Amino acid sequence: MSTFADQTFTPPEQIRNFCIIAHIDHGKSTLADRMLQLTGVVEERAMRAQYLDRMDIERERGITIKAQNVRLPWQVDGRDHVLHLIDTPGHVDFTYEVSRALEACEGAILLVDAAQGIEAQTLANLYLALEKDLHIIPVLNKIDLPAADPDKYAAELAHIIGCDPSEVLRVSAKTGMGVPDLLDEVVRQVPPPVGDADAPARAMIFDSVYDTYRGVVTYIRVVDGKITPRERIRMMSTGATHELLEVGIISPEPKPSAGLGVGEVGYLITGVKDVRQSRVGDTVTSERKGATEPLAGYRDPKPMVFSGLYPVDGSDYPELREALEKLQLNDAALTYEPETSVALGFGFRCGFLGLLHLEITRDRLEREFGLDLIATAPNVEYRVVQDDGTEVMVTNPSDWPTGVKIAEVHEPLSKVTVIAPSEFIGAIMELCQSKRGNLLGMDYLSEDRVELRYNLPLAEIIFDFFDSLKSRTRGYASLDYEEAGTQVADLVKVDILLQGEPVDAFSAIVHKDAAYGYGNKMAGRLRELIPRQQFEVPIQAAVGSRIIARETIRAIRKDVLSKCYGGDISRKRKLLEKQKEGKKRMKNIGRVEVPQEAFVAALSTDEPSGDKGKKK
């Protein structure tokens, strides 16, 4: 069958735009692989597992980070159709990628593992799709597994969606069983796109990437009118105009075409090198006789976790700024602003959607741009109200107001959904209580699976909550969380002092009850990491002017008595007193040398452990 690249425009009634949504490791990318093979857009010899996961980091970790789109030809009842598939991530930190993909679709395949059933992120993605009014096709995957129980989970899925269990399709993405029938159902069930072919052109930017040779490559979904090469276009939010050098489709490699019509998904290249000119959520229209009303666009994502990123070598600061600019084009959920630290020099305060997002971003900056970075301990955003009524937003412990009376501190809350076998209810409740959680409700999805809903402070989730949850439930629990306003909490700032001087990189904002634990842990860790100096160095943890923990790094002691063989004790004492005087004087003028490795090691233990990003 011929490819569609040489056709001018595909009639909207032949187009089906759909995405695959699911929890992590339920088989989205494998199902996309089978679709690519079945439709013939990838030759057998070029085929590889996770074909649409383009980044090395995605392939290594076995997770999807970026939503990828591809155009597939398919025939049903002798009629040609064009399917636009968008493979989406499953991790809670990349929900924003999923929400953008949903805007470009009319239908969604809701994929559930037949051996594990519905998990927390499955529900979160389902509600996102229903919010956007998408047609849902329920599908059970991995029916070839010995542990699969398709009848049980089909009933569970049907109960949640409100359909009959017989309507739940059953496939094996690994073997390809049932996938042709699924594609037929996509054509039959998903409605074709609706738009006015004669109206002024309007296309939604749902993603963009930076290509070193070609500049910004913008991915769009055409809603009205048509877009053709060599015409001039206008970005409606910035007002910038460009000439289109190339318009094309992704099948699954980029292929230039004669234009894109109503409902089609493809890419534009304008040769623009300035990454700020192509904003995700913007509307593209023609410069002459263009549209006056932009499309609705997307809600800007709100960063949940903040961390400082600093180059190990201070001279890499301009490269870091350029790298963040390019990465932000590809990752619209990333925010950053410059900041300085006495200990670490110049860097950026970055906002992320979660800890995995922070870890992946840092990894990409180091791999793709060759940078060597230090990340400070993650924080959330606090609203501090002072006694005189003034409010301060604090994303960094160094911004915490000092020398003033604080009336109250508001911390962000999150609504957490945990789905697990019912035997673990006690362990989960105990963990949530210890993290200052408040139970909202509990529902049984089936006789042996339960859904727990909690309000938890976001700061308690972002450190080790996920690891603790997995270890207490032997890996069976799944977690999803979303924003849920703020609450007043008893929070304090813990400063770490080296020889009486605070080191801003080690400061943290914690709950009053956890202050002693944090101070003790950090002082103990620094005692191990900082090399001994010529003089004694006290490491102290303080809340305001009150010292709550202390460790001491012993001085390197030179053996001044080595040349004394016996003789009068007073001579030895005189030499020791002389050494003591010298050390005291040195201590008055000495500054503590903290090696770069100590910062990295002290802060890295507060970061996510490597397995957080792996498939769960």
Domain at 242, CATH number:
2.40.30.10
Helix runs in 162-198, H state only: 179-189
Q: Please state whether beta strands 537-543 and 546-553 pair in parallel, antiparallel, or not at all (unpaired).
A: antiparallel
Inter-CA distances, 40 with 3, 37, 49, 80, Å: 10, 5, 15, 14
Q: Is the pLDDT of residue 458 over 60?
A: yes
pLDDT at 51 > cutoff 70: no
Q: Do 496 and 540 contact (CB within 8 A), yes or no?
A: yes
Torsion, CA 569, CA 575, CA 576, CA 579, rounded to 10: 180
Of the residues 189, 210, 226, which one is the last residue of a structural domain? 189
pLDDT band, residue 203 (cuts 50/70/90): confident
Q: How remote is the C-alpha of 545 from its chain's centroid? A: 37
List alpha helices for 286-402, DSSP H.
317-330, 355-369
Residues 388 and 364 in one domain: no
Tell me: is residue 25 an annotated ligand-binding position: yes
3-state secondary structure 459-496: HHHCCCHHHHHHHHCCCCCEEEEEEEEEEEECEEEEEE
Please tell me whether the peptide bond between 538 and the residue prior to it is cis, using omega within 30 degrees of 0.
no
Please, what sign has the CA dihedral across residues 254, 185, 87, 170? negative
Q: How confident is the model at residue 94 (pLDDT cuts 50, 70, 90)?
A: low
Q: What is the 3-state secondary structure (H, E, C) of 524-575?
A: HHHHHHCCCCCCCEEEEEEECCEEEEEEEECCCCCCCCCCCCCCCHHHHHHH
> Which residue has better confidence, 273 or 465?
465
The full DSSP string for 127-160 is: HHHHHTTPEEEEEEE-TTSTT--HHHHHHHHHHH
Same domain, 366 and 389: no
Q: Which residue has the higher pLDDT, 585 or 18?
A: 18
* 307 annotated to bind ligand: no
Tell me whether residue 224 is annotated as binding: no
Whether the pLDDT of residue 222 is over 80: the answer is yes
Cβ-in-10-Å burial (0-12, 13-18, 19+) of 468 comes to middle
Report strand pairing: 107-113 vs 135-141.
parallel
Confirm whether 297 is domain-assigned: no
Percent of the chain with pLDDT over 90: 0
pLDDT in tens, 322-336: 888 878 766 767 888
Q: Please list the alpha-helical segments (H only) found in 397-457.
A: 425-434
Q: Is 27 annotated as a binding residue?
A: yes
- The token pair at 245 is 């050098």
Residue carrying structure tokens 């529900």:
123
Asked if 372 and 393 sit in the same domain, the reply is: no
Number of domains in the chain: 5
Q: Is the pLDDT of residue 460 over 60?
A: yes
Q: Does the annotation place 17 within a ligand binding site?
A: no
Question: 296 in a domain, yes or no?
Answer: no
Examine the domain organization and report whether 44 and 124 are in the same domain. yes
Q: Which residues are within 8 A (CB) of 18 and not within 5 positions of it... i.e. 6 or more apart? A: 83, 84, 85, 86, 105, 106, 107, 108, 109, 137, 186, 190
Q: What is the mean pLDDT of residues 267-276?
A: 72
291 within a domain of the structure (yes/no): no
Whether pLDDT at 606 is above 50: no
Question: Tokens 């629990």 sit at which residue?
Answer: 477
Q: Which residue has the higher pLDDT, 591 or 315?
A: 315
Clarify whether residues 25 and 122 are in a common domain: yes
User: Are the CB atoms for 78 and 14 separated by under 8 Å?
Assistant: no
**Separation of alpha carbons 600 and 119, rounded Å:** 35
Q: Is residue 52 part of a domain?
A: yes
What confidence tens digit (pLDDT) does each residue in 527-582 have? 887 777 767 778 888 887 788 888 887 777 666 565 666 667 676 777 777 766 66
Site of tokens 């003034």: 390
pLDDT of residue 29: 74
What amino acid occupies position 405? K
Asked if residue 228 and residue 141 are part of one domain, the reply reads: no
Last residue of a domain, one of 346, 376, 406: 376
Q: What is the pLDDT, as a whole number, of residue 42?
A: 66
Same domain, 439 and 473: yes
Residue 554 CA to residue 530 CA, distance in Å, equals 11
- Check whether 141 is labelled as a binding-site residue: yes
- pLDDT value, residue 559: 62
Beta partners for 108? 19, 136
β-pair partners for 349? 308, 337
Is a pLDDT exceeding 60 seen at residue 21? yes
CA distance 370 to 448: 49
pLDDT tens across 313-324, in order?
778 888 888 888
Domain check: are 253 and 279 in the same one?
Answer: yes
pTM, rounded to two decimals: 0.67
Indicate which CATH number applies to the domain containing 474. Answer: 3.30.70.240
Please determine, for residue 133, whether its predicted confidence score (pLDDT) is greater than 50: yes
Contacts of 267 (CB under 8 A, 6+ apart): 217, 218, 219, 220, 247, 248, 249, 250, 254
**DSSP single-letter state for residue 264:** -
Residue 107 Cα distances to 83, 142, 251, 373, angstroms: 11, 22, 20, 41
Tell me if 144 is assigned to a ligand binding site.
yes
Query: What's the mean pLDDT in 265-286?
Result: 74
Residue type, 254: P
28 annotated as a binding-site residue: yes
- Can you point out the beta strands (E) in 288-447? 305-311, 335-341, 345-352, 373-375, 382-386, 391-394, 406-421, 438-446
Domain that holds residue 137: 12-189
- Dist CA 616 CA 611 (whole Å): 9
Q: Is residue 246 one of the residues assigned to a domain?
A: yes
- Out of 426, 459, 489, a domain closes at 489
What's the whole-number average pLDDT of the chain?
Answer: 76
Say if residue 155 is in the same domain as residue 28: yes
Percent of the chain beyond pLDDT 70? 79
> pLDDT digit string (tens) for 240-266?
787 888 888 877 677 888 878 888 888
Q: Which residues contact 121 (CB under 8 A, 6 or more apart)?
A: 22, 23, 24, 90, 91, 92, 478, 480
CATH number for position 344:
3.30.70.870
* Residue 62 or residue 143, greater confidence: 143
Q: Phi/psi of residue 60, each to 5°?
A: -65, -45
pLDDT-derived band at 6, boundaries 50, 70, 90:
very low
Q: pLDDT category, 154, cuts 50, 70, 90?
A: confident
Task: Output the pLDDT for position 611.
Answer: 37
- pLDDT tens-place string over residues 66-87: 556 777 888 777 788 888 887 6
- Tokens at residue 198, please? 């004669």
CATH number, domain containing residue 31: 3.40.50.300
Q: Are residues 428 and 496 in the same domain?
A: no
Paired tokens of 158: 């049907």
Range 344-348 average pLDDT: 82
**pLDDT tens digits along 381-440:** 888 888 887 888 887 777 788 777 888 888 888 888 888 888 888 888 888 888 888 888
Residue 614 lies in a domain: no
Q: Which residue has the tokens 């490559």?
A: 217
314 & 372 share domain: yes
Same domain, 18 and 144: yes
Q: What CATH number is associated with residue 555?
A: 3.30.70.2570
Residue 611 forms part of a structural domain: no
Could you tell me if residue 195 is inside a domain?
no
For residues 459, 464, 470, 472, the Cα torsion angle rounded to the nearest 10 degrees is -100
pLDDT of residue 480: 75
User: What pLDDT does 579 receive?
Assistant: 66
